[in-house]
Amino acid sequence: MHEEGAEGAGTSAGNVFLDGAHNPAGARALAAYIRRFHAGRRVVLIYGAMRDKAVEEVAGILAPVASEIILTAPRQPRAVRPEAMLALFDHPSARSAPSLAEALAMVEGAGADTVVFVTGSLFLVGEARELLVC
């Protein structure tokens, strides 16, 4: 969401955006952004969260705007295990990855029509920034 502060990075996986939608309000803003600026594109969400966050509510907001969801966990002891989140994301193309690096590898080589959003935990976004921007 360039206009609202998220970062974008071009990779061989396509367009990757980093957005710290770690609560329902942030998730609603991200969903609105996706609907407005990426309608018609394949949207992949890479999502990870902490145990004290409203994961189920965020899942209900973000799942409808995603073509695919990859659930992962930031390298933090308070992170929700990706497998535990699968039941919360009612989506036919939800899957899990044990690490952000593995989640990003799952979208490697995606076409130009694909846009990837790494979102949820600010810790996850920070890890993505280290991997993609630096």
Residue 128 burial class via C-beta count within 10 angstroms: exposed 0-12, middle 13-18, buried 19 and up: buried
State phi, psi for 17 to the nearest 5 degrees: -115, 140
Mean predicted confidence (pLDDT) in 45-74: 95
CA geometry: angle 89, 7, 1, nearest 5 deg: 65
Q: What is the pLDDT of residues 2-25, one digit of tens each?
A: 334 444 444 444 589 999 899 999
Tokens representing 33? 């952004």
pLDDT tier at 71, thresholds 50, 70, 90? very high
Percent over 90 (pLDDT), the chain: 74
Task: Determine if the pTM surpasses 0.85.
Answer: yes
